[in-house]
Amino acid sequence: MAPEAPRRKAAFAAWALPSRAAAALSGPVGLALKLLFLALVNAVAVWAAVVLAADDKWIALGVLVAATVAIDAVYLSPRAFPLKFLIPGTLFLLAFQVSPIVYNANIAFSNWSTGHILSKGEAIEGIQRNSLVESSEGGAYAMAAARDESGKLVLVLVDEDTSKAFLGTREGLEELPAGVVELDGDGRIAGAPDGVALIPGDQLLELDQELASFTVPVGGDRAIRPEGFDAALELAPSLRYDPSGDTFTSLDGGVVYRNNDRGSFVAAAGEELEPGWRTGVGFDNFASVINDPLVRDPFVRVFVWTFVFATLCVLLSFVLGLFLAIALDKPKLRFQRTYRSLLVIPYAVPGFLSLLVWQGLLNDDFGVVNRVLHTSIPWLFDPNWAKVSIILVSVWLTSPYFFLVAMGALQSIPGELTEAARVDGGGRWQIFRRVTLPLLLIAVAPLLIASFAFNFNNFGNIYLLTGGGPPANDQSVAGATDILITYTYKIAFESGKGQDYGLASAVSILIFFIVATISAITFWRTKSLENIT
């Protein structure tokens, strides 16, 4: 008995460590750590408040101040003990669940897309900048991009007619003294005045976009804009903005572009000025899924295929997994553990690796599958065969999961029930259909519903295997094997002019309600299983 005493004492000391640590942190040390934590939180809050105030985000600023004050009050109060544990979880819930949902819903009611990502003021400035065109009265300049002493981009300019030198900034044009700008034999700028450093040629490519949007105002709505890397032109506007009427008017033809309250200036003939701005559009994105044939027809086609894909994947995977579980549920079966281990391998290997491997195996020209079968089936390039491929690979990936689930559920069914049914004269099929399967579904039905919801939004299986392709016959952004989630991704990043985040967010909300409705109906229908005893 003597050797057991030190072991018990050591075990008791190990169990007591958390209690001792909590006791040590509850005194002055704990108070110091709490104050340090609150100091860090308040420091971050002050920094965030300055940023929000600079961007005129007053509602967010008010929420930040209220939350910071509440955190300080809770952690400094000795009576608010339960809230000290609830606040961290609540903050994580708001940050990672509620906020993304609210943000996504906000986008769904806006026109946020390519061409509509700016504020209205920025869009007006962009239209004015884009309206600058070359005129007969405008001058031409030799140009060199440079940096001033503060590192800002400036333009060193030499008028080709008068040979006068200027320094151009976003604020205006400054004439330089004669002789401070050097030109080479080709008339290009080779030297800059003091305090200005020319940008080397190998760095100019990095400034391509910045130079394209750089303008130097010269008065009278005119501006100088770079044309390439070594020349600039004085341009005149072709449109004039009227703030009182909120319209643009063409100076050439007198065409009036009015605010259509959807983030664009549009002429009566339908011509739209770019860029537009981000604004709320109400339920227009949801209405387009119903009323716009370019959105509605692909959506309906993709929804039908999504439902078929999710249903077949769950059904076939469950049937195959249950069959394998029953086949291997034999106590005297030789190499039983080996068989089970081999069947679990697809579930143990990361799914994205398996999908990439299957993409190579199913290649119609070089894939192992066609070579072994001596066929030339276009597994991934024919719409029908691509759907078959996706279902087969998805079943291969999912059936080990249902094999494990079914194996555990079968072993939980009391043997007395099946034995009693056998004594009553029931055959194997009758026992399975009337005893085993109903009891099995009590445990498996919620998992089947969860698996259906997962496959309904199984982005990886589709995108990594076929990319949603091959292209469909309706020439839409949705391919033949796209499901709703990949269709939403393509709307967000690959449709129309480029990206349409508003419509994609609206479709994602519809997907949520579709899955929630199907799951709710299925759970309600499976309530009958609760009466099985």
The dihedral of CA 360, 363, 365, 370: what is its sign? positive
256, 249 Cβ separation under 8 angstroms: yes
Which helix (H) or strand (E) segment holds residue 142: the answer is: strand 140-147
Q: Give the pLDDT score at 497.
A: 63
Local structure of 89: helix, strand or coil: helix
The C-alpha atoms of residue 238 and residue 255 are separated, in whole angstroms, by 11
The CATH code belonging to domain 132-237 is: 2.40.430
Please work out, in degrees rounded to the nearest 5, the angle formed at the alpha carbon of residue 177 by the alpha carbons of 172 and 179. Answer: 125
Distances in whole angstroms, Cα of residue 245 to Cα of each of 252, 272, 277, 281, 296: 19, 17, 17, 21, 36
The C-alpha atoms of residue 439 and residue 431 are separated, in whole angstroms, by 11
The CATH code belonging to domain 28-108 is: 1.20.58
The C-alpha atoms of residue 518 and residue 449 are separated, in whole angstroms, by 9
Q: What are the start-end ranges of the E strands in 160-268?
A: 165-168, 173-175, 182-183, 189-191, 197-198, 216-219, 222-226, 231-237, 239-242, 247-250, 256-259, 265-266
84, 76 Cβ separation under 8 angstroms: no
Architecture of domain 292-531: Orthogonal Bundle (1.10)
Residue among 222, 239, 231, 252 at smallest CA distance from 138: 222
Residue among 257, 260, 303 at smallest CA distance from 279: 260
107 contacts: CB under 8 Å, gap ≥ 6: 501, 502, 505
Q: Spell out, as residue ranges, where the chain has pLDDT lower than 70.
A: 1-27, 496-497, 527-533
Local structure of 478: helix, strand or coil: coil
Q: Give the pLDDT score at 2.
A: 52
Tokens representing 336 are: 């039983």
The C-alpha atoms of residue 302 and residue 462 are separated, in whole angstroms, by 12
The model's pTM is: 0.79
Can you say whether residue 228 is alpha, beta or left, with left for phi > 0 and alpha for psi between -120 and 50 degrees? Answer: left
Q: Give the pLDDT score at 1.
A: 47
Domain ranges of the chain: 28-108, 118-129+241-277, 132-237, 292-531
Please work out, in degrees rounded to the nearest 5, the angle formed at the alpha carbon of residue 34 by the alpha carbons of 29 and 37. Answer: 125
pLDDT in tens, 95-151: 888 989 999 999 999 999 988 999 999 999 899 888 988 877 778 999 999 999 888
Q: Give the pLDDT score at 73.
A: 87
